[in-house]
Amino acid sequence: MKLFTTFFLCLCCPFLVQAQTVDPDFFNQTWYLYEIFDSDTGETFTVEGYQPYGGNPEIEQINPKITIDDNLQFLGLGICNTISGTLEQDAISGDFRTITTDGTSDACGFFEDMDEPYIFGPFAIIEPDPLLYTIVGPTVTNNSDGFQTMTYTTQPFLQYTYRNTPVLNTPENDLATVAIYPNPAQNVLHFQKTATTELALDVRIISVSGQLVQTNRLEASQKSLNIAMLAPGLYFVNISEGNKSSTHKLIVR
């Protein structure tokens, strides 16, 4: 009887089927964008060697990236702007959709500003139509060089390819020279800099729901930030200096 009941539920109640399992390596690591393939036009946008002006003027190699934690919070970098937000997973298909998104809006350049939304893709779009801008079938594969590749498709017509190593194996543009303390913190957050950190720091504090709650610019001589307005809880602190950035988890008491 138990076997019959199980069969009946599976046959008549497909909505009870659990979401497809996503590779756990999809989460909690940095994925660097390598290319975007448009199956409608047959064109491929390649990150390596990206030069929006044909090399005149020449720009530095860009390194767009995205990190998604197992609570479905994401943080990313495009060309010169950062993005953060929240995904939700479809209970049946296992696919993901963006439900909150926020980011900076600095001018990167004439052509760069047109390309950056394309780079951010579905992470920058909240679309009520389930047939548009969904992260479909994210797949992680192991490569012979010891790294991994992550791919997904999104409507309409696009396939994104990432790897967990920067393009051209360039050193990751992380601000390892900046640390925050104390953590947990209350009222004031301090920044420990090294001599190699000489420029002003742009600081963005983001809630776990992906909402940008505080932004500040710390001049080179400043070493602390007033966070008295923040409610107790968990936050992400994104710090950028030029084209370098790092993200830290912060607990506010």
Residue where a domain stops, chosen among 126, 148, 169: 169
Greater model confidence, 177 or 238:
238
For the cut 70, the answer to whether the pLDDT of residue 171 exceeds it is: no
pLDDT of residue 173: 53
> Per this entry, what is the length of the chain?
253
Residue 208 sits in the same domain as residue 188: yes
Residue 221 sits in the same domain as residue 159: no
Residue 184 sits in the same domain as residue 143: no
pLDDT of residue 174: 59
As to burial, measured by CB atoms within 10 angstroms (0-12 exposed, 13-18 middle, 19+ buried), residue 4 is exposed
- Whether 233 maps to a domain, the answer reads yes
For the cut 60, the answer to whether the pLDDT of residue 169 exceeds it is: no
pLDDT of residue 198: 65
pLDDT (average), residues 7-24: 55
Residue 135 sits in the same domain as residue 202: no
Report how many domains make up the chain.
2
pLDDT of residue 13: 46
Q: Which helix (H) or strand (E) holds 113?
A: helix 110-120
pLDDT of residue 21: 83
- Whether 13 maps to a domain, the answer reads no
**pLDDT one-digit tens code per residue, 61-111:** 888 999 999 899 999 989 988 899 999 999 888 899 999 998 888 888 899
32: domain range? 22-169
Residue 160 sits in the same domain as residue 189: no
User: Full-prediction pTM beyond 0.75?
Assistant: no
pLDDT of residue 196: 55
**pLDDT one-digit tens code per residue, 183-215:** 889 999 998 876 555 678 889 898 876 678 899
pLDDT band at 178 (very low <50, low <70, confident <90, very high): confident
Query: Cα–Cα distance between 147 and 141 in angstroms, integer?
Result: 9
Strand partners, 50: none
Percent of the chain whose predicted confidence (pLDDT) is above 70: 85
As to burial, measured by CB atoms within 10 angstroms (0-12 exposed, 13-18 middle, 19+ buried), residue 231 is exposed
Phi, psi of 99 (to 5 degrees): -115, -20
Query: Cα–Cα distance between 166 and 21 in angstroms, integer?
Result: 27
For the cut 50, the answer to whether the pLDDT of residue 44 exceeds it is: yes
Nearest C-alpha neighbor of 203 from the set 148, 144, 246: 246
- Whether 6 maps to a domain, the answer reads no
